[in-house]
Each structure stands twice: as C-alpha cells, then as structure tokens.
Structure 1
Amino acid sequence: MSASGPRQLVDSVPSLVDVALDYIRTRIATGEYAPGHRLKERELSDETGISRIPIREAIRALASEGFVTLVPRRGAIVTELRPDLLDEIFEVREALEVQECVLAAQRATRDEVATMRASVEAAEEAARVGNAEGVNDANARFHEILVDASHNDTLAQVLRPLKNRLNWILRQNDDVTLVCREHRDILEAIASGDVERAREVATSHVRTSKQIALAVLFEDRELSASG
C-alpha cells in the first residue's frame, strides 16, 4: 500500500459533525422536525449515538444555512418560515440561479447535459407513478448538476447553502408536474446553447416556484386557521 493510502481513507470518512448535520437537515427538510421544533442536544445525541459536541457544531452550521434559529433562553429551533423571509430567499435565488442557467447554456459539457437529462426523465417518471419523494430527489439532483454545469466555483460556493434551504422549501410543493415541465424547458435551452431562452425560462421557474411556495406555506395555513 502506498504511503498516501491510509491518509486518503481517513479523508474519505465523513466527520461526526457531517453525519449529525445530514441527520438533522434531512429531518428538517422532510418535515419530521417542523418549523418551531426545538432541537435538544441531549435528545439528538441519544438518537444518533453522537456526542453532544459534534451535535452542537452541526446545529451552529445549520443556523448559518438558515435552517435553525438560535434563540436566547430557548436554544435552537427549526426556523419559522415567514413571507418576508421567503421574499428575500427568492430575490437572491433569482439573481444567482438565472445567471447559473445562462452560464450552463454557455459552458455545459455533453456529459453534464446527459446527466441533467437523466435527472429530468427520472423526475417525470416518478411524477407519472405518483412518487412525490422520487420527484423531489430527482429535482434536487437536477439543481446539483446545474450548478456544476455553470463551471463557476465561486457561484457554486454561494449557491450551495441556499440550495439546501430551497430544497426544504420546495418539498412543500404539491404540484410536482409543473416543476418537472419547467426543468425540462431549462434543460432543452441549455442543451441547445440558447442563452436568452435559458435566461427566460430560469426567471419564470424561480417566480413560479415562489408563488407555489407562498401558496402552500401560507395560504393553506391561513385557510386551516380560519376553518
């Protein structure tokens, strides 16, 4: 074995902080930990078998991503989504994601387009059989490929924490077929290298996603309260 072998093996093993981070983020994204839910280090430690120090670091990282809010005397709670917060998130998303699609239309490789196409087709098939979770997973992969296809590392670094929050928000979407259609439009614009079309459909996609999120997260909540 080469001298670098053990070092590479160690580097490939996720840290306990990363494991805790994925565990908590997944439960927030799927709704198991709803907005307002208090995250208790001791309970999370018991659930995961991970000591409280990595749990604490994971919670701090999630606070920096916007999933968690640190409240004096209450501790860490899952962030309450508000219309004004959603406005801010989608303003940033439109500025960055439209540029991401423009760059992808200019720079995406054949392999990246092929992988993007596979994710779109997987989402469409999942929608056809009524597998909403499969749609969400495939759509999240689409956006992961899209950021890579921009070939701009700085943009990718800025977008990734935002993408995590957007995946959380967009999982609340009841109309998965609409998102699939819009992803198909973005894909075809990128595949043909049509920059202006990519800009147009990406802008429309962000604005449509915002309206769906507002309706699902707030109008439905208001109807439930009034009923």
Structure 2
Amino acid sequence: MTQTEQTTQASPSAQRASDSTRVADRLRDEILDGVRAPGSKLVERDLASEFGVSRVPVREALKVLDVEGLVTLRPNTWAVVREFTASDLSDLDEVRSALEVLTFRLAAQRRDEAGLARLRAVLDAELAGARAEDPVAARRAAADFHEVVTELAGNRLLDELTETMRSRMRWAMGQHDDLMHVTEEHRVLFEAIAQGDVRGMERLVLAHMESSHRQRVEHEEREEARGRGR
C-alpha cells in the first residue's frame, strides 16, 4: 500500500468517529432549525438507515447531543428531541443574562477592527435573511452574532462556560418570528460595541433579553395555536 493510500484509507475507529460527527452535526442543525420538533422520536435503526451508517455512530451522536442538552436518552427504547420546560428556560435565561452582560461589556472594551468586521458581516447576513423572510438563515446568523461577540470579549474562561451551553442557547435564540425586530436590536448592540459604550451595555443587553423572552413566549403561543388548528 502506498503512503497516499495509507493516509486516505481511514481506520474503522476513525471512520466511526467521522460518521458520528457527521450525524451529530446534521441532527443538531435539524433540531436547532426546527426540522425535528421537540418530542420527536429519534430511533437508532431509522437514523442509521437515513444517514447510511451503522447504529454505533448514531448511538455516539445521540450521546453527544444528550450532553449538549438537545436530546433526552431513553434506555432500551429511543431518544427524543428535548422538550424544554418553562423551568428549564427560566434557568437558562438567568444564567444567560449574567453572562451576556459581561460578554457584551468586555466586547465593547476589547473590540478591534478585525472583530468588528466579523460582527458586521454576521449582522449583514442576518439582515439579508430577515429581508428574504428566510427564518433559518436569519436565526442562524442571529445566534452567530452572539458567538462572535463572545469571541470579541477575549476571555477564555467565558468561552469555556459558554461552550457548555452553546446548543441550548442557540435553540433558545431561535425561538422568535419577528426577524427584522431581532436584527434591529442586534444593530443597536453592534453600534454600542463599535462605540465602546461600556456604561450603557447592561441596559441594552437586559432589554434585548427581555425582548427575546417575550418573542419566545409569542412564538410558543403561535405554535400551539397552529397545532390545535391541524
């Protein structure tokens, strides 16, 4: 076997890891984008057939998503897409409000031209998605906006803390329907960061959190009404 063949032929364990990552990434996107609704069954056999892999990488992918808080494992039956309770979301909001204020303050203090350019690009993508009435694109970019702000904050411990909640935060941030409203709030936050408005950041962030909570409640009510109308 040539060196090229040796490097291109993955070992069985490496292939399983690759398959597991691919399945986890796909399922994560589908959950966050609303393709797989809360409470949906995730059956290993069916997913293995759908993704063209064995059940082992599917099982490993589901364990990853369970740790991220997006999936609930039910031994000897199947997994389900997590249904977040009001208490779950209240807990998340409390932690987010504390971390977000700190994150945006640090971003305003430590901003640089390169970071602001990245943040502007994400905001432009969010605006484009909102204008096109593309909820998936707009919501993904809205979540990306918060992650780029975390990068601008430049605090490794904050990165680690945020990483443990990233998937749950992205899910919660995606529970809104007024795409332009969220985009406008992000524009205001961007301007505050660009101007280094550290003193005004807490007020802006908490107002954004309150607005996000209100939009999430309205989104849930619309989804429930839609479900009753079927």
TM-score bracket for this pair, using the shorter chain length = 0.7 to 0.9
- Figure out how many residues of one structure are paired with residues of the other and give that number: 217
Name whichever of 130-139 and 185-194 sits farther off.
130-139
Residue 153 (structure 2) pairs with residue 133 (structure 1): no
Aligned AA (2:84) = L
Q: Give the 3 Å change call, closer, same or farther, for CA 215–73 of structure 1 in structure 2.
A: farther
Distance 1:103 1:30, change over 3 A: same
Structure 2 alignment gaps of length 5 or more: 1-6
Q: Which residue of 1 aligns with 2:4?
A: none
SS in 2 for 1:58: helix
2-side partners of 1:102 and 1:32: how far apart? 34
Amino acid aligned to 2:189: I
**Maintained 8 Å contact 1:83/1:214:** no
Q: Distance in 1 between matches of 2:40 and 2:134?
A: 27
**How many Å apart are 1:48 and its aligned residue?**
1.2
Return the letter of the residue paired with 1:209.
S
Alpha carbons of structure 1 residues 225 and 46: separation in structure 2 relative to 1, 3 Å: closer
Q: 1:225 to 1:50 in 2, by over 3 A?
A: closer
Q: TM (normalized to structure 1)?
A: 0.86
Matched, 1:120 2:132: no
Letter in 1 for 2:168: R
Superposition CA RMSD, Å:
2.4
Correspondences of 1:59-98 after superposition (within 5 Å)? 59-98=62-101
Deviation digits for residues 91-127 of structure 1, max 9, x if unmatched?
Answer: 1111111111111111122100111012112222332
Q: Work out whether 1:202 is the aligned partner of 2:205.
A: yes
Structure 1 match to 2:40: 37
1:49-68, aligned counterparts within 5 Å?
49-68=52-71
Q: Which runs of 5+ in 1 are unaligned?
A: 1-5
1:155 aligns with 2:161: no
Q: Aligned to 1:220, which of 207, 217, 222?
A: 222
Residue in 1 aligned with 2:28? 25
Q: State the TM-score, normalized to the length of structure 2.
A: 0.85
The residue identity in structure 2 corresponding to 1:91 is E
- Supply the distance in 2 between the matched residues of 1:108 and 1:51 (Cα, whole angstroms): 46
Q: How far 1:211 moved relative to its partner?
A: 1.6
Equivalent residues of 2:44, 2:78 under 8 A apart: no
Among 46, 51, 54, the alignment partner of 1:48 is 51
- CA distance in 2 between counterparts of 1:152 and 1:162 reads 16
Distance 1:199 1:159, change over 3 A: same
The separation in 2 between residues aligned to 1:150 and 1:97, in whole angstroms, is 10
- Aligned residue for 1:35, secondary structure, equals coil
Letter in structure 2 aligned against 1:121: D
2:163 maps to amino acid: R
CA–CA distance in structure 2, aligned partners of residues 21 and 196 of structure 1? 40
Give the letter for the 1:139 counterpart: A
Q: Deviations over 1:8-47 (max 9, x none)?
A: xx9xx98322211101111111222211111111111111
Residue 3 of structure 1 corresponds to which residue in structure 2? none
Structure 1 residues 55 and 33: alpha-carbon distance in aligned structure 2, compared to 1, 3 A threshold: same
> Equivalents in 2 of 1:214, 1:167: separation in Å?
16
Note the C-alpha offset of 1:138: 2.0
% same residue: 36
